[in-house]
Amino acid sequence: MNANEIPKIHTPSRTTVSLALGSGGARGLVHIGIIEWLVAHDYRIESISGASMGALVGGIHAAGELDAYKHWACALKRSDVLRFLDFAFSGNGLLKGDRIMDTLRAMVGERAIEDLPISFTAVATDIERQREIWLASGPLFDAVRASIAVPGVFTPYEYQGLTLVDGGLLNPVPIAPTFRDLTDMTIAVNLNAESDDRPIASPPRRPAGTEREAGDQGLQARIRQFLDSIGDDVGAVGTERLGVFDLTTRAFETMQNSIAAMKLAAFRPDVLIDVPRDTCAAHEFHRAAELIELGHRLADAAMGARED
């Protein structure tokens, strides 16, 4: 070896990844399993863009606290959702969303997006100007709160003079923010894929009241009955007339399905992981464990097919 030469140090290379995590309510818990699979198989996630639940899960992972969120989510029961129902009592949304955001801030800590170890962009919709907004700086949970503001469910979020709602309204699978990345590959997760007609995570029907604690009275008991009826309506097949909540949710998802198909036709990622839209209902956050496991299986199938 020449005395002036610098010896080469051989280090194992790791595939760097940009993730585009889609919107889809509780189906977004699948993102946790996909991220876990990638990390376990030595992929290095360097960039995440997310809409709605994709922004929530992606932002928490970018902050390094996905394990804490996973354990919290897996401990939730259907009845626990009551603790996060902070009704807005206004005409522009059912819930304020402050309780869930306060819980996440306590769990993760408030972070500035620009200080995160992983590049992160939350996608929201400027409802007044009817345009897509990319939030890549500022407080993490302000960006997440804006991105999850499903119209009619959460009140719009006022941020830097803008009125922002759910990013899935215009971009359910936000691949475009990853175009600036210098990573080896882009993986997109579409939570609004066509069904393959096989039951994936269908919960058993429960008798009414099986999760109600003794002593429920008044407004709390009526809220429980309301939530149970939503679950029954979504799980029902065929002929029953849709309630207002169910109709609104399905209408929003129908729109997202169409937009997601167009976006994916225009911007093809290196790997697309499809999650059938009938995997679970948008509100079924109590099914975290099975949805995370589904994420493991879907990632293994998609990435295994690529490696083959």
Q: Residue 165 pairs with which residues in a beta bridge?
A: 125
Q: Residue 134 pairs with which residues in a beta bridge?
A: 123
Active-site residue, 166 included: yes
User: What token pair was written down for 197?
Assistant: 């007609």
Condensed to tens digits (0 to 9), the pLDDT of residues 200-222 reads: 444 433 333 444 333 344 544 55
DSSP, residue by residue, 133-168:
EEE-SSBHHHHHHHHT--TTTBPPEEETTEEEEEGG
| 80 vs 82: CA distance, rounded Å | 5
Q: pLDDT truncated to tens, each residue of the chain (308 aa)?
A: 444 443 433 334 689 999 999 999 999 999 999 999 999 999 999 999 999 999 999 999 999 999 999 999 999 988 776 677 767 776 677 778 888 999 999 999 999 999 999 999 999 999 999 999 999 999 999 999 999 998 878 889 999 999 999 999 999 999 999 999 999 999 999 999 988 654 444 443 333 344 433 334 454 455 445 545 544 443 443 334 445 556 766 777 777 777 877 888 778 899 999 999 899 988 899 999 999 999 999 999 999 867 65
Question: Of 47, 119, 166, 278, which residue is the catalytic one?
Answer: 166
Active-site residue, 52 included: yes
Q: Residue 122 pairs with which residues in a beta bridge?
A: 50, 135
| 189 vs 269: CA distance, rounded Å | 10
| 115 vs 119: CA distance, rounded Å | 9
Q: Which residues contact 57 (CB under 8 A, 6 or more apart)?
A: 21, 28, 29, 31, 32, 35, 50, 66, 69
Domains, in order of start, for the chain: 16-195+248-305 (3.40.1090.10)
Question: Of 18, 23, 52, 79, which residue is the catalytic one?
Answer: 52
